[in-house]
Amino acid sequence: MIREVAWRLFAGEYNESRLEAGGGGDRAPTYVVTPLGARVNRLFAVGVLTDVENVGTDGQPMWRARVSDPTGTFHVYAGQYQPEAATMLSKIKPPAFTAIMGKSRTYTPDPGTVYTSIRPEMVKVVDAYVRDYWILEACRSLKQRLAAMREAQAMDPLTKDGLVALGYSEDVADGIVAATTHYGKVDLPRYGSLLAEALRYLLPEYRAFVEEPAPAARTPNAVAREKPKAADDVEDKVMALVGELDKDGKGAPWDALLAAAAKAGIAKEALEEAVNELLDKGLIYEPILGRMKKI
């Protein structure tokens, strides 16, 4: 059997997938089809591992991890059938730049509700250069599928042969047709903003914002989500407060963060929303319960 290609794919697209295809025979591969037509059986993701937890037992551990890229968070699960990956996850101390190679998985607890995850085959600690190169590769993949989907939306009727005639591979054409059939007309400008967001993450100005405790300009991650500027300002302020209140290196205590936010005119609900956004983006993490720390 031919080994499936490992897609370089952003969490912001992968987590919005609601279609599973294939699996017709005992050994037939199954695919998670994303809104932009990536037919994903395996994927390669690189980001910041911000959290690892054993949700199983001591005798039969099941390790759950969160790996964040500039657009969202991958959820990773490794147990007895992935012994090497599970062992590696158990040894990594967050935060750490981490590469994950694994199988795509979906979980449907209720009709209409689908959660995606990765069942890892390989887990490896990497450096910032590997993470940055992965972002660039994922951007190239996203750009190609955006172009293919634009061509598809202009075709009437849309056919696989028509896309192949335009120069796209059969795999890409299959995915585009399946995605269009299932998801309908995809919001391409939003995914274009996601692409721009990921590329901005590589800019030195953005790195300065992440590394320095002082408030910085509006975060580029907000572009893809099209949030009001006020929400971006709150995230910037909260990011600065987390840095200022982390006086012992163990993270900013939640009570102190809550009090400082109130003095800055940030309501509790807005603070909680900003903290959740920053956690999802991999800009902060929770080293111990009740404390927030910058990556």
Tell me: the pLDDT tens digits for 191-245?
Answer: 999 999 899 888 876 555 444 333 333 334 433 444 455 666 888 899 899 999 9
The answer as to whether 253 is a domain residue is yes
For residue 117, the SS3 value is strand
Domain end marker among 131, 156, 171: 131
The answer as to whether 160 is a domain residue is no
Same domain flag for 10 and 127: yes
Q: Which amino acid is at 275?
A: V
Same domain flag for 123 and 226: no
Has this prediction a pTM greater than 0.75? no
pLDDT band at 25; cut points 50, 70, 90:
low
Q: How many angstroms separate the CA atoms of 127 and 48, rounded?
A: 10
The answer as to whether 67 is a domain residue is yes
The answer as to whether 191 is a domain residue is no
CB contact at 8 A, 137 and 8:
yes
Same domain flag for 207 and 127: no
Same domain flag for 117 and 22: yes
Residue 124's domain is classified under what CATH number? Answer: 2.40.50.140
The answer as to whether 181 is a domain residue is no
Give the burial string for 137-165 (b: 16+ CB within 10 Å, else e). Answer: ebbebbeebbebbebbeeeeebebebbee
The answer as to whether 100 is a domain residue is yes
DSSP 157-207: S--HHHHHHTT--HHHHHHHHHHHHHH-S--HHHHHHHHHHHHHTTSHHHH
pLDDT at position 226, please?
Answer: 43
Domain end marker among 75, 105, 131: 131
Q: How many angstroms separate the CA atoms of 23 and 83, rounded?
A: 25
The answer as to whether 180 is a domain residue is no
Domains contained in the chain, number: 2
Same domain flag for 19 and 127: yes
| Domain range enclosing 18 | 6-131
Q: How many angstroms separate the CA atoms of 273 and 231, rounded?
A: 9
Strands 6-8 and 42-54: parallel
Strands 284-285 and 291-294: antiparallel
Least-confidence region, from 69-73, 171-175, 230-234, 272-276: 230-234
- Give the full edge-to-edge strand order of the sheet including 30-33: 19-22, 30-33, 39-40
Same domain flag for 27 and 115: yes
Q: What is the mean pLDDT of residues 16-37?
A: 84
pLDDT at position 112, please?
Answer: 77
Residue 281's domain is classified under what CATH number? Answer: 1.10.10.10
For residue 225, the SS3 value is helix
Domain end marker among 106, 131, 156: 131
The answer as to whether 138 is a domain residue is no
Residue 59: count of CB within 10 angstroms of its CB = 6
